[in-house]
C-alpha cells in the first residue's frame, strides 16, 4: 500500500512538472472553452448587432457608439478574477484585453483624423441625420431635402475649386480617411434613396435628379481627395507604378508590440541577414552538387527550366501533394484527420489575380497560378518558370497539409471562439513546416534543395524589403530589384510580389511575419521537443488545437507559464548577437 501511494504521488508530481506534455481530450467541454469565453461570445454577438445597425463607416455616431461599447467590455473584463484562472483562460483574458484596447486605439485615431478633415465635409451632418431618420422609417420632407441637396452641390463645387487650387498635398492617411468618409456618405445617401424611392410618391418625384447629381459629385470629390494625398509621404520618388503607404518606425514598433514581437525593425533585418547567410552557404552546396560550382544563379536557372507544359500543372501539384503527405505520415509528424485530406479543392487563378499572386495559394481551396490563353508569351514563360516542380514541391505542404488547409480545418473545430488571428501564427506555422521538412531531409536532390532554399531566401528578403520600405529607406522599385538580384526572382513575379505586399490589402507586418513566426515555432520546438518534454506529433497537435494567437501565448499555454494581468511581451526567441 505504501509503495502504491508513493507511486501515485510520484506520478502526480510528474504530471504537475510536465503539464505541457499532458494532452487533454479535445472533445472535453471544458477544454473547448474558458472562463473568458462567455464574455468573448457575448462581445462578438453584440458587436455584430451594432455593426449591422451602425453601418456608415467613419460617421461620428458609429464611432462614438463603438467607443462606448469597447470601454464597457473592457470594464466588464477587468471585473473577472484573473489570478484564479488557469493559464489558458489567462491567455484569453490578455488577448481579449489587447483586442479591446486596439479597437479603442483605432477608433481614437479615426476620431483625430476625422476632426482634421472635417473642414472638407461641411455638408456631412445633414446626410448623417437623414440616414439616422431612415433607420426608423421617419417621414422625409422630400421638397426640403431636394433643396438641401442642391445647396450641397453648390458647396461641393466651391470646395472642389478650393481643393484643386490648393498646392499643399494632404498627408496620405488624411487623404485616405477623407476618401473613405465621402464613400461612407454616399452609402448613407444610397440607403435613404433606396428606402423611399418608389414607395413615397413625393420623395420619388423630388429626389431622383438631385440624388443622382449629388452622388456623381461625391464620387468625383472622393477621387479628388485621394489624389490630393501626398503620394510619396515617406516613400521616395519611384519609377514603378506601385504606390503604397509607408507607416514609419514608430508605427512599426507599435504594431510589433501588439503582435508580441519584442524586437526592433533593425533587429529583425539583422535576423533576416543572418538567415540569408545560412541560405547562401546551403545554396552554394546545392549548386556545387549540381555541377555549377559557386554559380548558384546558373543552378537556379536550370531548376526554373524544369517547368511542366501548359495544362499539366494541376497533375504535377497532385503528385507533389502525395509525396509531401506520405512523408509527413511516414515520419508521424502531426495528426491528419481523414476529412481534411478528403475535402480540399482546386481552382485555377485568373490572369488578373496572377498579377498580384504569381505563385499558387492554399487553404481548403488550392489556387493554381499558371499561364492562360490571354497571356503573352513572355508572361506565360515567367509563370511556368516561377512555378516549376522544385519550387512547388518546396511549398505544397505550406499551402495544404500540414500548412494552411490543416490550420483552417482545425481552427474550425477547436477553440473556435478564439478570434485572435495573426499572420505570425498563420504564415509562421506554414513556413515552420518548411523548416521541419528540410531538417527531416525531405528534399531528394540538389534541385529540390535549390527549390526549398529559393523560398527560404524569399522569406528573408520579405523581412528586409518590407521593413526598409516602411522605414522610408527603399522604394517599391528598389524592392523589386532586390528580389531579382538577391533571390533570383523572375522580374514579373518580383513585381507581383511587391505589388501584393504594398497594395494587396495586407498589413505592414504581414510579409515579415512568415519567417519571424516560423522562428518562434522553431524555437518553441527546441524548448519542448528537442529537450524530450513532448513528442513532435504531440507538440504540433497541441498548437493546432489551441487555435490562432500570438506564438508567445502558445508558449505560455504549453509551458504552463505563470502570467500577470499587466503582461508585456518579452520572449526573445532568436539570439540576434550570435
Per-residue pLDDT of 89-125, as tens digits, reads 999 999 999 999 999 999 999 999 999 999 999 899 9
- Domain boundaries, position 109: 32-116
pLDDT tens profile 550-566: 999 999 999 999 999 99
The reply to whether 563 falls in a domain is no
* 405 and 428 both lie in a single domain: yes
Q: Give CB contacts under 8 A, 24+ apart, made by 309-313.
A: 310/370, 310/371, 310/380, 310/384, 313/368, 313/370, 313/387
* 69 and 206 both lie in a single domain: no
Closest CA to 541 of 561, 519, 563, 558: 558
* 256 and 377 both lie in a single domain: yes
Q: How confident is the model at residue 8 (pLDDT cuts 50, 70, 90)?
A: very low
Euclidean distance between the first and final Cα of the chain, in Å? 54
* 267 and 303 both lie in a single domain: yes
Q: What is the pLDDT of residue 231?
A: 60
* 144 and 288 both lie in a single domain: no
**Distance between CA atoms of 323 and 389, rounded to whole angstroms?**
12
* 201 and 304 both lie in a single domain: no
The reply to whether 290 falls in a domain is yes
Q: Specify the 3-state DSSP secondary structure of 170.
A: strand
* 395 and 330 both lie in a single domain: yes
Q: What is the pLDDT of residue 568?
A: 96
The reply to whether 5 falls in a domain is no
Alpha helix positions (H), 332-473: 338-343, 351-354, 377-386, 389-393, 396-399, 404-411, 423-439, 446-470
The reply to whether 242 falls in a domain is no
* 463 and 508 both lie in a single domain: yes
- Please count the structural domains in the chain: 3
CB atoms within 10 A of CB 556: 22
Are 494 and 484 contacting, i.e. CB atoms less than 8 angstroms apart? yes
CA angle 571, 574, 576 (to 5 degrees): 120
Domain finish residue from 116, 146, 170: 116
* 133 and 174 both lie in a single domain: yes
Q: Which residues contact 576 (CB under 8 A, 6 or more apart)?
A: 263, 267, 270, 271, 274
* 354 and 212 both lie in a single domain: no
* 204 and 313 both lie in a single domain: no
What's the mean pLDDT in 210-230?
Answer: 93
The reply to whether 2 falls in a domain is no
What's the mean pLDDT when you consider all of the chain? 92
For a pLDDT cut of 90, what percent of the chain falls above it? 81
Q: Specify the 3-state DSSP secondary structure of 229.
A: strand
pLDDT: is 105 or 246 the higher one? Answer: 105
The reply to whether 23 falls in a domain is no
The reply to whether 442 falls in a domain is yes
Choice among 6-15, 127-136, 178-187 with the minimum mean pLDDT:
6-15
* 196 and 261 both lie in a single domain: no
The reply to whether 576 falls in a domain is no
Domain finish residue from 63, 94, 116: 116
Q: Specify the 3-state DSSP secondary structure of 368.
A: strand
Q: What is the pLDDT of residue 11?
A: 39
* Number of helices and strands in the chain (H, E): 25, 2
- C-alpha 229, offset from chain centre: 25
Amino acid at each position: 500500500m505504501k509503495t502504491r501511494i508513493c507511486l501515485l504521488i510520484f506520478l502526480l508530481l510528474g504530471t504537475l512538472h510536465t503539464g505541457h506534455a499532458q494532452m487533454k481530450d479535445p472533445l472535453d467541454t471544458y477544454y473547448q472553452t474558458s472562463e473568458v469565453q462567455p464574455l468573448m461570445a457575448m462581445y462578438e454577438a453584440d458587436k455584430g448587432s451594432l455593426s449591422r445597425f451602425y453601418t456608415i463607416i467613419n460617421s461620428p455616431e458609429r464611432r462614438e457608439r463603438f467607443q462606448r461599447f469597447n470601454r464597457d467590455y473592457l470594464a466588464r473584463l477587468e471585473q473577472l478574477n484573473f489570478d484564479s484562472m488557469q493559464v489558458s483562460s489567462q491567455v484569453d483574458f490578455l488577448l481579449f484585453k489587447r483586442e479591446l484596447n486596439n479597437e479603442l486605439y483605432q477608433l481614437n485615431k479615426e476620431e483625430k483624423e476625422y476632426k482634421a478633415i472635417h473642414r472638407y465635409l461641411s455638408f456631412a451632418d445633414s446626410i448623417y441625420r437623414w440616414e439616422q431618420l431612415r433607420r426608423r422609417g421617419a417621414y422625409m420632407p422630400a421638397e426640403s431635402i431636394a433643396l438641401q441637396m442642391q445647396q450641397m452641390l453648390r458647396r461641393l463645387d466651391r470646395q472642389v475649386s478650393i481643393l484643386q487650387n490648393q498646392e499643399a498635398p494632404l498627408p496620405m492617411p488624411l487623404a485616405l480617411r477623407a476618401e473613405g468618409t465621402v464613400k461612407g456618405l454616399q452609402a448613407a445617401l444610397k440607403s435613404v434613396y433606396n428606402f423611399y424611392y418608389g414607395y413615397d410618391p413625393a420623395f420619388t418625384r423630388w429626389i431622383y435628379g438631385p440624388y443622382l447629381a449629388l452622388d456623381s459629385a461625391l464620387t468625383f470629390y472622393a477621387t479628388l481627395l485621394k489624389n490630393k494625398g501626398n503620394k510619396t509621404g515617406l516613400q521616395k520618388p519611384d519609377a514603378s507604378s506601385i504606390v503604397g503607404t509607408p507607416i514609419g518606425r514608430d508605427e512599426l514598433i507599435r504594431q510589433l508590440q501588439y503582435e508580441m514581437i519584442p524586437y526592433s525593425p533593425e533587429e529583425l533585418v539583422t535576423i533576416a541577414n543572418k538567415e540569408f547567410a545560412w541560405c547562401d552557404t546551403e545554396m552554394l552546396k546545392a549548386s556545387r552538387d549540381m555541377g555549377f560550382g559557386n554559380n548558384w544563379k546558373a543552378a537556379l536557372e536550370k531548376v526554373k527550366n524544369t517547368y511542366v507544359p501548359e495544362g499539366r500543372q494541376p497533375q504535377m501539384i497532385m503528385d507533389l501533394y502525395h509525396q509531401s503527405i506520405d512523408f509527413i505520415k511516414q515520419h508521424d509528424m502531426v495528426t491528419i484527420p481523414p476529412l481534411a485530406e478528403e475535402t480540399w479543392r482546386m481552382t485555377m487563378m485568373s490572369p488578373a489575380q496572377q498579377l498580384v499572386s504569381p505563385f499558387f495559394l492554399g487553404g481548403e481551396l488550392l489556387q493554381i497560378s499558371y499561364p492562360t490563353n490571354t497571356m503573352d508569351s513572355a508572361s506565360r514563360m515567367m509563370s511556368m518558370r516561377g512555378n516549376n516542380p522544385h519550387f512547388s514541391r518546396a511549398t505544397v505542404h505550406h499551402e495544404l497539409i500540414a500548412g494552411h488547409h490543416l490550420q483552417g480545418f482545425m481552427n474550425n473545430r477547436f477553440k473556435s471562439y478564439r478570434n485572435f488571428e495573426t499572420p505570425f501564427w498563420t504564415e509562421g506555422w506554414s513556413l515552420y513546416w518548411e523548416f521541419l521538412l528540410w531538417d527531416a531531409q525531405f528534399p531528394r536532390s540538389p534541385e529540390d534543395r535549390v527549390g526549398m532554399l529559393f523560398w527560404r531566401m524569399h522569406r528573408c528578403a520579405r523581412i528586409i524589403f518590407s521593413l526598409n520600405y516602411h522605414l522610408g529607406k527603399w522604394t517599391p522599385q528598389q524592392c523589386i530589384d532586390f528580389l531579382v538580384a538577391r533571390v533570383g526572382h523572375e522580374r514579373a513575379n518580383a513585381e507581383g510580389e511587391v505589388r501584393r505586399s504594398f497594395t494587396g490589402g495586407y498589413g505592414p507586418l504581414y510579409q515579415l511575419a512568415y519567417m519571424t513566426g516560423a522562428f518562434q515555432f522553431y524555437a518553441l520546438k527546441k524548448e519542448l521537443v528537442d529537450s524530450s518534454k513532448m513528442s513532435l506529433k504531440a507538440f504540433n497537435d497541441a498548437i493546432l488545437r489551441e487555435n490562432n494567437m500570438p506564438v508567445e501565448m502558445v508558449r505560455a499555454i504549453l509551458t504552463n507559464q505563470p502570467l500577470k494581468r499587466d503582461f508585456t511581451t518579452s520572449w526573445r526567441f532568436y539570439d540576434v548577437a550570435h
